[in-house]
C-alpha cells in the first residue's frame, strides 16, 4: 500500500481577488478533491505556486487543509537553501502533515555531494517522512541514481521519490535496488502508465485535479493485470495531459482555469506565473466535458 495513497493531487493554492491567500477556499478545494477521489494532497508544491508563498502562508495553508480533510498531506518544504529547507520542514512537522516533499536544490546547480548533504540534513532535522523530488527540467541538475539509492538505504525518513526525470530505465533501477517500503511516484502525469510498468506506486499529479477517478481506474486496472483497460483509460486522459502543460499556460494557470470553469473558487495566479490566456477556460470546459463523457 502506497504510504501517501495512489492518486495524490499536487493542489493549487487558492487566492482571492487581491491575490491574498484564501484559506476558506483552500479548505473547500481540499474537501472537493477528496470527494472526487484524491487519496492524498501535496500542498505548496510548484503547482501550488510555492515560490510566491511566504513561510507563514505555507504553514497557515498546511494547518487549514489539515483541519478540512483526513487524507495524507505532504507539505512542500524544499528550497535552494539547505538551512531554510530544514527550518521549514521542522515547522511543517508541527502542523499535522504526514510527510514533506523536498525538491532537489535548484538554480545554483550544486554538486552531487552537495545534493546528498542537503537531503541528509533534512533527514537529520526531524522524524517527518519525506519524498525527494527529482525534476531536472526545473532544477537544472538531475540527482544521480547512486545518490538516491544511497540515501534510500541510509536515511530512514526518506521514504520515496516524486520522479519527473522522464527516464523509466533509471526509475526501474531505483525500484529494483531501493529498500522495501521506498515508494516511487510518477511526477509526470503523461508517464504514469509507463512508470507503473516498472514499479511506481502511483502519481503525484496535476490533471488529477479533475481526473482523480480516471487515474484511480487506470492504476487499479494495471494492478489487476488488465493492461488493455489501463491503456484505454490512459488514452482518454491524453487530452488532459496536453492541456495541463503549455508555455502559455503553465500547470498552475491551466489548472486554475479548469477549476474555475467547473465552478470552484481558486482565483488567479500570482506573478510571475502569468495571466490566463484568452479562451483558456472555454477550452478547459471542453476538455473536461469530453473526458467525463467517456
Which residues are identified as catalytic? Answer: 133, 162
Q: How far is CA 223 from CA 1, 16, 35, 228, in A?
A: 12, 41, 23, 12
Please answer whether residues 185 and 160 qualify as being in contact, where contact means their C-beta atoms are separated by less than 8 angstroms: yes
Q: Report the Cα–Cα distance between both ends of the chain, in Å, rounded.
A: 29
Please answer whether residues 278 and 268 qualify as being in contact, where contact means their C-beta atoms are separated by less than 8 angstroms: no
CB atoms within 10 A of CB 82: 20
- Nearest-angstrom CA–CA distance, 55 and 93: 13
Please answer whether residues 82 and 117 qualify as being in contact, where contact means their C-beta atoms are separated by less than 8 angstroms: yes
- Nearest-angstrom CA–CA distance, 210 and 37: 10
DSSP for 26-44, please give it. Answer: HHHHHHHHHHHT-SEEEES
- Nearest-angstrom CA–CA distance, 294 and 290: 7
CB atoms within 10 A of CB 51: 12
- What is the distance, to the nearest Å, from the Cα of residue 200 to the centroid of all Cα atoms in its chain? 14
Amino acid at each position: 500500500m502506497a504510504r501517501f495513497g495512489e492518486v495524490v493531487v499536487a493542489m493549487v493554492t487558492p487566492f482571492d481577488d487581491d491575490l491574498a491567500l484564501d484559506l476558506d477556499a483552500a479548505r473547500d478545494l481540499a474537501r472537493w478533491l477528496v470527494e472526487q477521489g484524491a487519496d492524498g494532497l501535496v500542498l505548496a508544491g510548484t503547482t501550488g505556486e510555492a515560490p510566491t508563498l511566504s513561510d507563514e502562508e505555507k504553514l497557515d495553508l498546511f494547518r487549514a487543509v489539515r483541519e478540512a480533510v483526513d487524507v495524507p498531506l505532504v507539505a512542500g518544504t524544499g528550497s535552494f537553501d539547505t538551512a531554510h529547507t530544514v527550518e521549514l520542514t521542522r515547522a511543517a512537522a508541527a502542523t499535522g502533515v504526514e510527510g514533506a516533499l523536498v525538491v532537489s536544490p535548484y538554480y545554483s546547480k550544486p554538486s552531487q555531494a552537495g545534493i546528498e548533504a542537503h537531503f541528509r540534513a533534512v533527514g537529520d532535522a526531524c522524524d517527518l517522512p519525506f519524498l525527494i523530488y527529482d525534476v531536472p527540467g526545473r532544477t537544472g541538475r538531475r540527482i544521480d541514481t547512486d545518490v538516491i539509492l544511497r540515501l534510500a538505504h541510509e536515511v530512514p525518513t526518506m521514504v520515496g521519490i516524486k520522479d519527473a526525470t522522464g527516464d523509466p530505465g533509471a526509475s526501474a533501477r531505483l525500484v529494483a535496488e531501493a529498500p522495501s517500503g521506498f515508494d516511487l511516484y510518477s511526477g509526470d502525469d503523461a508517464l504514469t502508465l509507463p512508470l507503473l510498468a516498472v514499479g511506481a506506486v502511483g502519481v503525484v499529479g496535476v490533471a488529477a485535479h479533475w481526473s482523480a477517478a480516471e487515474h484511480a481506474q487506470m492504476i487499479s486496472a494495471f494492478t489487476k493485470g488488465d493492461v488493455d483497460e489501463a491503456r484505454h483509460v490512459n488514452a482518454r486522459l491524453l487530452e488532459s495531459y496536453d492541456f495541463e502543460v503549455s508555455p502559455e499556460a503553465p500547470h498552475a494557470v491551466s489548472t486554475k482555469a479548469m477549476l474555475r470553469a467547473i465552478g470552484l473558487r481558486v482565483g488567479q495566479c500570482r506573478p510571475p506565473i502569468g495571466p490566463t490566456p484568452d479562451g483558456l477556460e472555454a477550452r478547459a470546459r471542453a476538455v473536461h466535458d469530453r473526458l467525463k463523457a467517456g
